[in-house]
Copies of this chain bind each other. A is one copy, B any other.
Amino acid sequence: MAKICLLSLSLVLLFSLSFAQQQLKGQCQIQKINALQPQYKIQSEGGVTESYDYNDDQFQCAGAAFLRHTIYRRSLLLPSYTSSPLLAYAVKGSGILGIMISGCPETFESSQESQQESHGQGQRFRDRHQKIGNFRQGDIIAVPAGAAHWIYNSGNEELVLVVLQDTSNNVNQLDDIPRRFFLAGNPRSGQEQEQQQPWQPEKQYSRFDNVFKGFAVQVLAEAFNVDLETAKKLQGENDQRGHMVNIEQGLQVISPPFTGEEQQYGEQNRRANGLEETICTARVRQNIDNPSRADIYNPRAGRFTTANSLTLPILSFLQLSAARGVLHRKAIMSPHWYMNCHTIVYATKGNARMQIVDNRGQAVFDDTIQEGQVVVVPHNFAVVKQAGDQGFEWVEFNTNENAMINTISGRTSSFRGLPVDVIVNAYQVSRKVAEQLKFNRQETLIFSGGESSGQPRVSSV
């Protein structure tokens, strides 16, 4: 008996120790990364939100949460805000984003008189509201922490958005739980379905609801200067539509025609676009899918397009950036590591073999990533991708406003920086082989793969 007790004691001690150890030492001691599918699903009238398990080691290491909204045609994601900045990518469809910031002027105004008289005072009512913006497939959209926003599907198909919520961002002064505060509706009325696991201790804390529910109706009535019945409407108690709602007749807002062109900005430094100063007019979207805007382009291999604080200044405040990659059949993205961020990769099409290697020289991921899956590449871990037979397309979110990539092979790689004699001695190869290692790969980041790259080439400056 005593033995059992002692055993239990030692087990517990070991357990406590190992657990404590893990916390004490941080959360990036990753043994194995898996390509993730969404784990939870919340169904509502106007669409569905799927979330990836933010308790998974890779998200704990990255300090981020990830989710996918599918907003049906003519449906609205109700106004809400989060304590961490959001960066989203429109995988499919098009929509309208409204960010509401207290104190910003209502610069979109109607000059037509409205049909109905308001308030019985004989005045005709014209609406006016803050700037709103259109976006479409291939756009990155950025929402600052704490800024309330709504999204409407204004297109003719489903709108699919993948969203990174950077909970470890230093503007988030709460803990690392992904929280969303709704300003309308009855979000919990949506049907939550866990797709895989039966019990999740954190689940209750990641729940979201309408904050008006926590205020007394009488106080709301006074605050809005309306009657109690109207104030009660704010709390949405009997609303069964969930967090996305259908608008049968379509949403009527004041909006300029959408050309898909981005506004052009003059030279701006960080100060000139200060969050405190001009957040009311900040540009929050950038297209990264249009091939004509590629930053790195290789007709045989693919392309790579980035959105960072230099192309989209508000990303300075979000401390996030993003990139869109396209690899043709069997093409390779150079082995590389990010100097200053984690990368969250979401596969939008096709598949690729990825290998992610840690400081112990072990592949924590050596698998295929498929459309709809997510893989986190931790800061400084080395990674290589090779597209499958159908090619590979992805969007990646980086936890730094200017992600710095360090390629290991290719024309701009750190290998090119090495004197040949260092290569000779480090790898115990002949001078000739050292020159091959240094100069054979002439492309920069996206390499053509397969038979097309079989013969060694010579450098020609």
Contacts and interface: CB of A to CB of B under 8 A. Distances in A.
A65 B225 CA distance: 37
* Residue picked from A6, A356, A380, A413, most chain B C-beta under 10 Å: A380
A116 B459 CA distance: 15
Interface in A324-357: 332, 334-342, 353, 355-357
A419 B254 contact: yes
Interface in A429-461: 429, 431-433, 435-437, 440-441, 447, 449, 453, 456-461
A220 interface: yes
Task: State the copy count for this chain.
Answer: 3
Interface in A162-210: 170-177, 179-185, 188, 201-202, 204-205, 207-210
A431 B17 CA distance: 57
A15 B61 CA distance: 24
Contact of A4 (B5, B355, B413, B427): B5
Contacts of A247: 425
A318 to B, nearest CB: 13
* Residue picked from A104, A174, A233, most chain B C-beta under 10 Å: A174
Contacts of A205: 25, 29, 360
Contacts of A384: 215, 219, 223
> What are the 6 A-B residue pairs with the smallest beta carbon separation, nearest first?
A26-B175, A214-B357, A146-B339, A209-B361, A130-B417, A100-B417
Contacts of A223: 332, 334-335, 384, 408-410, 441, 447
Contact of A224 (B173, B220, B356, B409): B409
A414 interface: yes
Contacts of A108: 419
A182 B106 CA distance: 53
Given A222-B453, A359-B208, A406-B101, A399 B147 contact: no
A432 B357 CA distance: 60
A281 interface: no
Given A8-B8, A172-B379, A406 B148 contact: yes
Nearest to A175: B26
A186 to B, nearest CB: 9
Contacts of A170: 170
A245 B425 contact: yes
A150 B422 contact: yes
B23 A179 contact: no
A326 B82 CA distance: 29
Interface in A363-392: 363-364, 366, 378-380, 382, 384, 386
Contacts of A432: 116, 118-119
B224 A441 contact: yes
